[in-house]
Amino acid sequence: MHPSISYNMKKVKFLLLAVAAALLTACGTTNTVPLTGRKQNLLVSDQQILSLSTQQYSQYMATAKRSTDAAKTAMVKRCGERISNAVVSYLKANGLAADVAAYKWEINLVQDKSANAFCMPGGKIVVYEGLLPFTQTEDALAIVMGHEVAHAVAKHSAEKLSKQMKAQYGAQALGVLLGSQSAALQQLGQTAFGFGANSVLRGFSRSNESEADYMGLIFAAMAGYDPSAAVTFWQRMAAGSQSSIPEFFSDHPSDEKRIANIQKWLPEAKKYYKPQQSTSVPLPGRTK
């Protein structure tokens, strides 16, 4: 081939690539959720989400009071570490190492009477003391922490933020994206990661909640916790919510539906369950 033709073709190819990249940005990116294989459309990058959530986490922890109960704090940290290790191993084994490379796991038990917990994108886990009377056992705590970590792994905050951006800015959502630190995104992020009604840390869609239940069950099992603890835990929650509805859980699917789903998923989750976590356990592959 003539050198100049080859050069021009390279130039054309480069231009086509640039156009494709621009189009990809315009429509956001399509991400595949680990374990479930569901496709989601994201308008915000991992970096944008991490920068927003890190800011909000620092602000939250600056005023939060850490638990003074050493034994409970140790249990929460151990449980969170086992789950995060299992998640990282799973993602690495499935070609998703890049997804967790930016994670900086932090696990806290804080003084707060609400039955609540959350995991911010990037692995910042917070458990409220008020959750522990409901979980009672470390296995049940692992069910809740697995669920919260699943929200982060499945990028539900990015998904919700993307939907909010489309709703708020419509066709101009792309313009919002052009500057990674644009004022609009920054402002949206403040609301999104705050603790108000529109927070992306609560009020996920029912389908996202179910997805987190499913993934969390498997993550807990991978970490060596008995997934069947989920059934008795949710039964306790259902009984307890008659008198004092834990605010956080009120957004979640109805207890009956949730328990029915968990019972349906248990046989699959149990395949991942090894009572004592061992480094020699072969890693499971994707199920779907």
Q: Closest approach of Cβ 249 to Zn ion, in Å?
A: 8
Instruction: Give the distance from CA 110 to its chain's centroid.
Output: 20
Of 266, 177, 182, the residue nearest 228 (C-alpha) = 266
Q: Closest approach of Cβ 179 to Zn ion, in Å?
A: 31
Check residue 66 and report its DSSP letter: B
Q: Terminus-to-terminus CA distance in the chain, angstroms?
A: 45
Residue 129 is among the residues annotated as catalytic for this protein: no
Of 43, 64, 71, the residue nearest 106 (C-alpha) = 64
Q: Considering beta carbons, is residue 43 or 215 the nearer one to Zn ion?
A: 215
Q: Give the DSSP per-residue string, 194-247.
A: SSSTT-TTS---HHHHHHHHHHHHHHHHHTT--TTHHHHHHHHHHHHTTTS--G
CA gap 239, 29 in Å, rounded: 42
Q: Closest approach of Cβ 221 to Zn ion, in Å?
A: 18
- Which is the catalytic residue, given 106, 138, 148, 159? 148
Q: Considering beta carbons, is residue 194 or 203 the nearer one to Zn ion?
A: 203
Q: Considering beta carbons, is residue 185 or 262 the nearer one to Zn ion?
A: 262
Q: Considering beta carbons, is residue 173 or 229 the nearer one to Zn ion?
A: 229
Considering only 29-37, 135-143, 155-163, 210-218, which stretch makes contact with Zn ion by CB under 5 A?
210-218
Check residue 271 and report its DSSP letter: T
DSSP lists the bridge partners of residue 30 as 41
**Do residues 153 and 103 lie in contact, with contact meaning Cβ atoms separated by under 8 Å?**
no
Q: Closest approach of Cβ 212 to Zn ion, in Å?
A: 5
Read off the tokens for 32: 């595949």
Q: Considering beta carbons, is residue 44 or 212 the nearer one to Zn ion?
A: 212
DSSP lists the bridge partners of residue 107 as 125
DSSP lists the bridge partners of residue 32 as 39
Considering only 68-76, 159-167, 209-217, 259-267, which stretch makes contact with Zn ion by CB under 5 A?
209-217
CA gap 94, 9 in Å, rounded: 36
Q: Considering beta carbons, is residue 140 or 212 the nearer one to Zn ion?
A: 212
Considering only 53-61, 81-89, 113-121, 206-214, which stretch makes contact with Zn ion by CB under 5 A?
206-214
Subset of 135-194 contacting Zn ion (CB under 5 A):
none
Considering only 69-77, 116-124, 185-193, 203-211, which stretch makes contact with Zn ion by CB under 5 A?
203-211
Size of the site for Zn ion (CB under 5 A): 2
Q: Closest approach of Cβ 213 to Zn ion, in Å?
A: 8
Q: Closest approach of Cβ 283 to Zn ion, in Å?
A: 25
Alpha-carbon distance values, 1 to 5, 53, 196 (Å) = 7, 52, 63
E-state strands within 52-123: 106-110, 117-120
Subset of 49-88 contacting Zn ion (CB under 5 A):
none
Could you give the residue numbers annotated as active site? Answer: 148
Residue numbers at the binding site for Zn ion (CB under 5 A): 209, 212
